[in-house]
């Protein structure tokens, strides 16, 4: 059966790395129908709206979305699109790829970040000239949904269990609820969990990242800690991510639109192509996902490489080399 994939290149190097990933997907024997959709700074400058309704509707109805990057309009585009897929978890692997000069080359982590609530759910108030407040939202249901995903994730990927990062010693009610909900789902399913205070985690992961594999976090903590880990593994240009909902997902590189190199044809397409591999795996095409990962790693190891990795190849050279390996 044909699977419908929405493709949103967006701004800057998104326009270069997203078509590269589509080219790789087209080289596989998978029955995908691609539909390109518009979003980003350039759309806002033409129409006043960064995210057209048609794009939102497409993302909310197709099997999966491959997203490149948008510039200044990121919050106006990516937050509603995460909603469009009802994304309750943001999956962010932090792994060292060949050819990258990493601070901690032994790092191999996956963050599973709560994607809908915590301090990002938007309940901020200005109560007086002196006082602003923020309401933090934590529900058992969202925490349990995240935990169920985490359990499946560790089972499918051969991990023993996962860490839960929190600060329930201080935020007893909210992080306490988060921790208790996550741990109770894991206990029921026989998945091992270990708790870690998020501030202590920040230190430990820098000193010895091998103590951790899969880390389940509340929203803000997951955002900050996964960026920290991105620093440990070096290449921002290499890191993929996935926003997963109950029925569909949105897959995007961690990097932004990189206006400094946009239009030069030298952007590294690896992060977007690895995001496409995550999309394949999410849709059940595990074997093809693995083939894509192997091809990317082979090219990162042997070249050609883009300038960010010390090479002088173009986006097209690297993409062609990956397609050749497939």
Could you list the active site residues?
Answer: 120, 167, 199, 223, 227
Asked whether position 256 contacts Mg ion by CB under 5 A, the answer is yes
Residue 39 binding: pick among Mg ion, ligand ATP, none (C-beta 5-8 Å cut-off by kind) = none
Residue 261 binding: pick among ligand ATP, Mg ion, none (C-beta 5-8 Å cut-off by kind) = ligand ATP
Interface region with ligand ATP, contact rule CB under 6 A, candidates 105-113, 134-142, 206-214, 250-258: 250-258
Burial 84-112 (b: 16+ CB within 10 A, else e): bbbbbbbbbbbbbbebbebebeebbbbbb
Residue from the set 9, 245, 249, 256 that interacts with ligand ATP by CB under 6 A: 256
Asked whether position 12 contacts Mg ion by CB under 5 A, the answer is no
Give min distance, CB of 25 to ligand ATP, in A.
Answer: 18
Asked whether position 255 contacts ligand ATP by CB under 6 A, the answer is yes
Give min distance, CB of 4 to ligand ATP, in A.
Answer: 26
DSSP sequence for 96-153: PPTT---SSTT-EEEEEEE-S-EEEEEEEEE-SSS-EEEEEE--HHHHHHHHHHHHHH
Interface region with ligand ATP, contact rule CB under 6 A, candidates 56-64, 138-146, 221-229, 253-261: 253-261
Residue 19 or 256 with smaller CB distance to Mg ion = 256
Interface region with ligand ATP, contact rule CB under 6 A, candidates 129-137, 187-195, 258-266, 275-283: 258-266
Interface region with Mg ion, contact rule CB under 5 A, candidates 3-11, 16-24, 195-203, 253-261: 253-261
Distance between CA 282 and CA 178 in Å, rounded? 25
Q: Which residues pair with 64 in a beta bridge?
A: 5, 249
Q: Which residues pair with 137 in a beta bridge?
A: 118
Closest by alpha carbon to 274, among 233, 221, 223, 214? 233
Give the total of residues touching ligand ATP (CB under 6 A): 17
Burial class (CB within 10 angstroms; exposed 0-12, middle 13-18, buried 19+) of 140: middle
Q: Which residue of this chain has its Cβ atom nearest to ligand ATP in the complex?
A: 256
Based on DSSP, count helices (H) and strands (E) in the chain, helices before strands: 11, 12
Distance between CA 50 and CA 79 in Å, rounded? 12
**What is the CA angle 67-236-60, rounded to 5?**
15
Distance between CA 285 and CA 290 in Å, rounded? 9
Residue 233 or 267 with smaller CB distance to ligand ATP = 267
Local structure of 94: helix, strand or coil: strand
Residue 65 or 193 with smaller CB distance to ligand ATP = 65
Residue 148 or 230 with smaller CB distance to ligand ATP = 230
Binding site for Mg ion (CB under 5 A): 256
Binding site for ligand ATP (CB under 6 A): 13, 17, 69, 71, 236-237, 255-261, 267-268, 271, 308
């Amino acid at each position: 059966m044909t699977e419908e994939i929405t493709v949103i290149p967006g701004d800057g190097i998104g326009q270069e790395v997203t078509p590269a990933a589509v080219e790789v997907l087209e080289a596989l024997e998978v029955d995908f129908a691609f539909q390109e959709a518009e979003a980003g700074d350039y759309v806002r400058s033409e129409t006043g709206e960064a995210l057209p309704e048609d794009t939102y509707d497409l993302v909310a109805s197709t099997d999966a979305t491959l997203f490149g990057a948008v510039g200044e309009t990121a919050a106006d585009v990516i937050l509603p699109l995460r909603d469009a897929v009802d994304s309750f978890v943001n999956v962010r692997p932090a792994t060292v790829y060949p050819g990258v000069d990493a601070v901690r080359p032994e790092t191999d982590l996956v963050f599973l970040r709560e994607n809908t609530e915590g301090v990002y759910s938007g309940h901020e108030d200005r109560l007086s000239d002196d006082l602003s407040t923020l309401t933090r939202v934590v529900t058992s249901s969202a925490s349990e949904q995240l935990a169920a995903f985490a359990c499946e994730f560790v089972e499918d990927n051969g991990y023993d269990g996962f860490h839960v990062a929190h600060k329930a010693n201080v935020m007893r009610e909210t992080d306490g609820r988060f921790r208790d909900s996550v741990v109770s789902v894991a206990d029921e399913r026989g998945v091992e969990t270990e708790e870690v205070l998020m501030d202590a985690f920040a230190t430990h992961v820098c000193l010895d990242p091998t103590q951790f594999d899969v880390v389940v976090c509340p929203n803000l903590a997951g955002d900050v800690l996964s960026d920290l880990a991105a620093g440990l593994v070096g290449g921002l240009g290499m890191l993929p991510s996935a926003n997963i909902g109950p029925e569909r997902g949105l897959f995007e590189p961690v990097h932004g639109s990189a206006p400094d190199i946009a239009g030069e044809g030298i952007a590294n397409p690896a992060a977007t192509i690895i995001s496409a591999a995550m999309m394949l795996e999410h849709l059940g095409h595990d074997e093809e996902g693995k083939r894509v990962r192997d091809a990317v790693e082979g090219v990162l190891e042997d070249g050609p490489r883009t300038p960010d990795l010390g090479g002088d190849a173009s986006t097209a050279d690297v993409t062609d080399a990956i397609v050749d390996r497939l």
